Structure formats: structure tokens, C-alpha cells
Amino acid sequence: MIYKAYLSQSLTLKLLEPAILSVLDNEADFETVFALMTDDNNKVAWRSAWLCEKISERRPTLFQSTHFSALIDLSLSTKNGSVRRLALSMLTNLKISEIPVDLLNACYEWMSSDKYPVAVQALSLGLLYHFCTLEPELKPELSAYLENFETENLSPGMKAMRRNIMKQLNIK
């Protein structure tokens, strides 16, 4: 499959499925698709990120530490909000086992600023909670942050996520 051409067209999840299956059947193609997340064409980049996110759900073993580093760098550097959201979603799916300080700090910024999409805010909060499971010493900081978080401008989904994370932080 010629992935760049395929990802250049308008896609639905149903139309993305053949590309997902192609990568899963030909794992060597994964590197090609993964590299397209930084393509100059924003649509190709986010469709490639979408494809990689679906692959991360079905076959997380394709992702190695170099991919984790690239996803972290991409989430920190991209100007494309959709690519950032999908990179964070992949990091969430893959349960990264290290805490990059730059990503930790960025997650606090993304979570607390309404200039970022709600999905980026929610995924950032989810990653911060995951980091707390890796390093329990981070729990008091996140708990204090969430307790003092301004909630009046939060979306209903973000309010619910904040509430659920606070419950989990107090239970464990």
C-alpha cells in the first residue's frame, strides 16, 4: 500500500480499516506510517497519527522505546492540535514507563489552559494520573493542583474526569 497517497484522501474509520490491517499484516510498514506523522501535509500527518493510534490499541508491541521518545517529542513540538491529541492518546494507550519531566510539565500546562482542546486537557490529566501511579510521590502535587483548579470554565467531561481522578488519588 502507498500510505502517503492513501492518507492524503478523506477518510472515515471504515476507510481507515484497510490501512490498519495492512500495517498489522506487514509490520515493516509501521515505520513508514509512523514517520508520516511529521509530514508537511497536516492532513497526512494527523491521518497517519490516527492510523498509529488505532495500531497502538490493537498491537502495542509494535511500539518500542524510540517510538515513545518520538511521540513525546511530537506531542511537545507539534503545532497541530489533532496530532498532539493523538500522540497523547498513544502514550496513554502504551502506558509509558518513564516520566519525562518536559512532558510532565507540559501536561500541567495543557490541562490547565483553555487554549488547548478539551481532549488534550483530558488526556494530559490522564497521563498525569498515570505518572502518579509510577511515582506515588507525585500524588500530593496533582491532588493539590486539582483541588485548587478553577472549574467554572471546564467542560462537563473535564469536570467529571477531574472528579474521578481526585477520587482515585484519595483512595490509593
Maximal CA-CA distance, the chain: 50
- pTM beyond 0.75, yes or no: yes
Instruction: Pinpoint the alpha helices (H) of 11-155.
Output: 13-25, 30-35, 42-58, 65-77, 81-94, 101-112, 118-134, 139-147
Question: Which pLDDT does position 171 carry in this prediction?
Answer: 60
- Express each pLDDT in 123-154 by its tens digit: 999 999 999 999 999 999 999 999 988 878 78
- Express each pLDDT in 59-99 by its tens digit: 999 999 999 999 999 999 999 999 999 999 999 999 888 89
Question: Which pLDDT does position 141 carry in this prediction?
Answer: 94
Domain residue extents for the chain = 1-97, 101-172
